[in-house]
């Protein structure tokens, strides 16, 4: 599966990273690691995610809302 990023999603991720980094650099790193782990797992096995329409999929992070 090919993963692409919408510019608005990237903007949201950047905003979230800045927020968590202000709290703790470790928290920002943990968010980034979990996000990338879920993206990689979904790219390898799309069935692990929720189809939300068309080719768009959704994955919930375990630790972060």
Q: What angle do CA 12, 52, 49 make, to 5 degrees?
A: 85
Q: What are phi and psi of 8, to 5 degrees?
A: -70, -35
Assigned domain for 22 exists: yes
Confidence (pTM): 0.83
40 in any annotated domain:
yes
Give 30's pLDDT tier (boundaries 50, 70, 90).
Answer: very high
Domain total of the chain: 1
State residue 51's pLDDT score. Answer: 87
* Nearest one of 39, 63, 37 to 49, comparing CA atoms: 39
| Per-residue model confidence as pLDDT tens digits over 31-62 | 999 999 999 999 999 888 888 888 788 889 99
Residue 64 domain flag: no
C-beta neighbour count of 18 within 10 angstroms: 10
Tokens of 30: 């943990």
- Residue 23: inside a domain: yes
d(CA 36, CA 13): 11
């Amino acid at each position: 599966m090919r993963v692409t990023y919408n510019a608005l999603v990237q903007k949201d991720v950047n905003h979230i990273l800045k927020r968590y980094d202000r709290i703790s650099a470790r928290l920002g790193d943990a968010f980034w690691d979990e996000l990338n782990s879920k993206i990689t797992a979904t790219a390898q096995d799309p069935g692990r995610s929720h189809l939300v329409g068309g080719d768009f999929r959704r994955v919930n992070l375990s630790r972060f809302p």
